[in-house]
Structure 1
Amino acid sequence: MLFTRIHIKHIDFPDTAFSLKPDNYTRGIDAKMKVSIQRAGILHPPIIKEKTPSSFQIITGKQRLLAAAALGHATCSCYKVHSDISDIEALDISLEDTILSHQPSPIEQAHYLQKALGHLPVDEVAIHYSAITGTAINPFHIKQKTALLTLEEPLQIAVHEKSLDEKVAMEMTKMSFGDRFALFDIISALQLSVSNQKKLTSSSRELAGRLKIMIRDILGGEEVLNIFANEESNLPQKASKLMGLIHKKRFPRLTDAENTFHTFVSGVHLPKNISLNHSPSFEQDTLQMDITFKNQDEFMKVWPKIETHFRVTSEEI
């Protein structure tokens, strides 16, 4: 690489040939970066590739170049790759640089793979990717990951920013536009955890299939709208109510069993240090009782009675 000074006006900012970020992704110029550049200059010079004698493509460092331009800098010191560097080699550099700063997001991985496929057969792309990331990948997984780029831009950005789970997003690629956004709008509005995103997605798909309706019909129903309309509930409370509602719709018999069990427990009037639990999904009739003791002495005071009771019970059996 050649370390050189480039006129910023010659940088082709719209060219995203080597960018791994979502298309049209803008996060604003980092204020700390601007202060750092003002104080000490660009400490990690961008890497560029000559496009024409007066135009350069960005391989790495777009945010740094934008910050320098915003500060009124006319020129910037950059590393210019050799003229014989191929586009796939430039892409490899972009991925290497991303890995040095953070774990590439699913969208960054997908962009690398899709752009690499424009230069190499899928098997060779897998070799390049695995060599750089240290993670093995096969053609099937490449197809899965690049499918994320078929999603609409807001969904891609959400995956990139980790507010939408990658596996949930992959499921969304198989849905209709309306179903996909009905699900995404709720996940975004309630800021659902990854666990709840997965539960809501699987439950909605199962329910829609069973009832032969669309997912958007379930998530746009009156009961769901009423949860959102309740101004007295905060986001976690609304999320809890929604998950409870979907669970009840998906497992009506299980929900009835849970209600019966809770009524039974309430009628027993257990002390605060005792809890009673049913078997998972009521698969068995057994109950489990948990008793909390302050210390060993308190436990030993009641242990003889417990031991005697269960010894007699076991002998009767």
Structure 2
Amino acid sequence: TVGLSMLASGQVSILILLGYIIMAAKLSGAMGGVLLYLTEIFYLDARIARIGEIKNHELQGGEKAVLSDFNVEIKDVCFSYQKDTQVIRHASFTAEQGQVTALVGPSGCGKTTMLKLISRLYDADSGTVQIGGTDIREIHTDSLFKYVSIVFQEVILFNTSIMENIRLGRLDASDEEVIRAAKLAGCNEFVSRLPDTYQTIIGENGAKLSGGERQRLSIARAILKDAPIIILDEIAASLDVETEVQIQTGLNHLIQGKTVIVISHRLKSIENADKIVVMKAGTVEACGKHAHLLKQSPTYRKMIEKSNLAEKFNY
């Protein structure tokens, strides 16, 4: 507006005004780039500090161990992700070899965190997690992971073939062993429809597969590994009923004689577990079988009542 007024009054010529506009545009673009870099510089300190935290993070210690007893004991365990907020508070229970132990409780009560402590993805702040009477902090993670198969809700897959993704469960497995594990996990039904079957490249984190298909590959890995301790976190969350039945058949072969610890929000699927551990606000409210907990655990009783109501709901 000022430039047009000056042009109209004869104070500047059209060439000078155009030159000014071009210079202003160039300066504006340059300043935009400078401001962008200034923003990055402000974040740089935080990024450098984070890198320092990672480099200075204390590595988990422990010795190589040969275990023969696979009872898992949680003894007065406390844990916090952040110093101010305790996620697990003085929790204690035992998951025995040859049995299925189910963890149940409201969302956010610490079930998945407990599984991460058992598999030593984190170390407890206090108390102990023991396998066969040995504190897992005394066992090197290379040794520990040989004894544990984990199927978490969040599946990690790689941009390679289905065959190689499953083989990560046991790197020396033959193709026949991989395919057998895949069939037990219910994978063969969808793999057989793919153009290159087990050699199909599935994309980064299994981008070319559905959620249920990715979950089945993760279960196939666990079946192939055949570890004595099986940890299952909501494995049926992404599966339809038919596929869940197929997988259950495979899991029945997998869990014989093993220590199985499972989380499931489908309470019907864990009613027959050998032991049910009810968690509430990071601690263990009660342990026992289904009938016992209906009488002794208000939290479990309320969850069963809500589950029954949900089943009766009609759209």
More helix by share: 1
Q: Which structure is richer in relative contact order (CA contacts within 8 A, separation 6 or more)?
A: 2
TM-score bin, normalised by smaller chain:
under 0.3
More strand by share: 2
TM-score (norm 1): 0.24
